[in-house]
Amino acid sequence: SGATIMEPTSDIFETIFGSHFQNHPPVQTGTVTVDFDNKLGPNMATVPSKFSHTDEFFNFTKNVCDDPDVTVIAYADESTYEGGLMGSKHPLAWYKEMGPNKARVFYSAMGHFSHFYNGTGPSHVTTILQAGLRFCCEGAQP
């Protein structure tokens, strides 16, 4: 199913990614806003700054937007769908660098359905995921 195995009582997931999945409303269409002013921006040049997206919009136990070590690159506009609990800055994808060696971490809550990956759906999700993977796998300049 792709579900996260670890329950919200585990600090491991929260330590690494900054938050836990809490719940999500039914699948629906909402607007995603993308921030290009970050290390991943150049690898996301083909993604529009706003786009319509149909998915499960995850709510989280904490808002990583409040963490100064996290850079959020995509937000859900909660005014465009029902069931959001994160407020005006609803994170959907983010990255950070952890520890003294600056280990790179990327998280995306988008792309729960096969059409995002099999060429029949919009390419925005795969482009964002590829940018995140490049960030994690490449050197200081993704």
pLDDT tens per residue across span 59-83: 988 999 999 999 999 999 999 999 9
Give the pLDDT score at 1: 38
Q: What is the dihedral of CA 72, 92, 51, 85, to 10 degrees?
A: -110
Place of tokens 């995850």: 58
- The confidence score (pLDDT) of residue 7 equals 56
- The pLDDT, as a whole number, for residue 128 is 94
- Residue 91, pLDDT above cutoff 50: yes
What pTM was computed for the model? 0.86
- 2 has a pLDDT exceeding 60: no
- Could you tell me the pLDDT band of residue 140, with boundaries at 50, 70 and 90? very low
Render pLDDT for 43-62 as a digit per residue (tens, 0 to 9).
888 999 999 999 999 898 89
Strand order in the sheet with 28-34: 50-55, 28-34, 70-77, 90-98, 103-108
Phi, psi dihedral angles at 11 (to 5 degrees): -80, -15
Q: What is the pLDDT of residues 109-131, one digit of tens each?
A: 998 888 888 888 888 999 999 99
pLDDT exceeding 70 applies to what percent of the chain?
89
Could you give the CA distance from residue 13 to residue 17 in angstroms, rounded to a whole number?
Answer: 6
